[in-house]
Homo-oligomer: A and B are copies of this chain.
């Protein structure tokens, strides 16, 4: 993956760097790639490239003629592209595939990226949603995703007793980790007070509790056992479970009932593993409170016990189950269509012992959790992956 940052580089340049890294890492040449699954969410609105995004991005690398599938699932676009590539390899349709996630959110007009992010809801229903939430019409025009997250956070505070201090602790942890990740957009040693005193975005969210606007790309080569024999290098990890689901109408108070809970349950079942087997996890902390909610949905904590888990320190580096060692979306950055594969990159480096200063010693099993969009009270799309060292 590229470093995530506000970049002056084009989407082509970012994808080129990520794909060349992935090919080199797997000792694959462009001609070894049998199909490409390319995730991107908003290039149509940000760069104007509404169609044939993958073909345009891969052609400069000499990747042509093969099937190229352009895949979109909002902020879960990369997790979804990876899943479709995995599905093809796991079931024998292809032996070596390239999965790519890429996003360019910065634009000379700052409102373009935010406005694009705001299309991950039912656009016909958006005005009504904004009114119900008390969000200003102006916020509906740009992106009211942080209004949605604020609403979700207030519900969560009500049922779990979570405090803004605990949310700030998530941000402090992830910014600490991001400082150890050379590919992270931000990172540093902040205090809870720094986070709480940052500019309020929508109560209770401050700027440091929200993932930033980022550009970046991430790529992975997936191979079957047969595909590996044709490559010079066979490097893990193994994909133990790859799950994509859509959202569903459900009781928002039950962390197992929505898309994340269902995807995690399916992933644990497919892998024959449980939350107790995980050594590290990358979760979709688009906001700091979302990480605590994810703890419960992914069964890292019991229902209502998210606040206790962050307080315990067990999800810090050095704890029993470090979460978002990469810095997460909060610190590493969140180029939306790239995030899911970037999480899988971090999981890969952790499982190979290549994560440098943020290495989780002896990590053997990692989970990633990547959600996107919002429809009827749930993420519209959700992907959960479990990887193991061998």
Spell out A's residues near B (CB within 8 Å).
Answer: 10, 12, 41-42, 44-45, 47-53, 55-56, 59, 64-74, 80, 83-84, 87-88, 90-93, 116, 119-124, 244-249, 259, 262, 372-373, 375-376, 380-381
4 closest pairs, A vs B, by CB?
A91-B91, A52-B373, A65-B248, A44-B44
List chain B residues, Cβ under 8 A from A248: 64-65
Q: Are B55 and A247 in touch, CB under 8 angstroms?
A: yes
Minimal Cβ-Cβ distance residue in B for A39? B70
Bound CA span A116–B44, Å: 9
Q: Are A51 and B376 in touch, CB under 8 angstroms?
A: no
Bound CA span A56–B124, Å: 9
Q: Are B120 and A64 in touch, CB under 8 angstroms?
A: no
Q: Are B375 and A59 in touch, CB under 8 angstroms?
A: yes
Q: A56-B375, A84-B84, A88-B87 in contact; A262/B51 too (CB < 8 A)?
A: no
Q: A44-B45, A52-B373, A72-B53 in contact; A246/B65 too (CB < 8 A)?
A: yes
Q: Are B51 and A373 in touch, CB under 8 angstroms?
A: yes
From B55, B80, B259, contact of A246 by CB (8 A): B55
Q: A91-B93, A375-B56 in contact; A69/B84 too (CB < 8 A)?
A: yes
List chain B residues, Cβ under 8 A from A246: 55, 64-68
Q: Are A51 and B59 in touch, CB under 8 angstroms?
A: no
A335 to chain B, nearest CB (A): 14
Q: A69-B80, A70-B73 in contact; A49/B123 too (CB < 8 A)?
A: yes
From B10, B83, B88, B245, contact of A65 by CB (8 A): B245
Bound CA span A262–B90, Å: 26
Q: Are A373 and B55 in touch, CB under 8 angstroms?
A: yes
Interface core residue of A41, A67, A71, A83 (most chain B CB under 10 Å): A67
A267 to chain B, nearest CB (A): 13
Minimal Cβ-Cβ distance residue in B for A80? B69
Q: Are A52 and B65 in touch, CB under 8 angstroms?
A: no
Q: Are B245 and A67 in touch, CB under 8 angstroms?
A: yes
Q: Are A247 and B64 in touch, CB under 8 angstroms?
A: yes
Q: Are A12 and B91 in touch, CB under 8 angstroms?
A: no
Bound CA span A365–B133, Å: 55
Bound CA span A80–B37, Å: 12
Bound CA span A120–B123, Å: 23
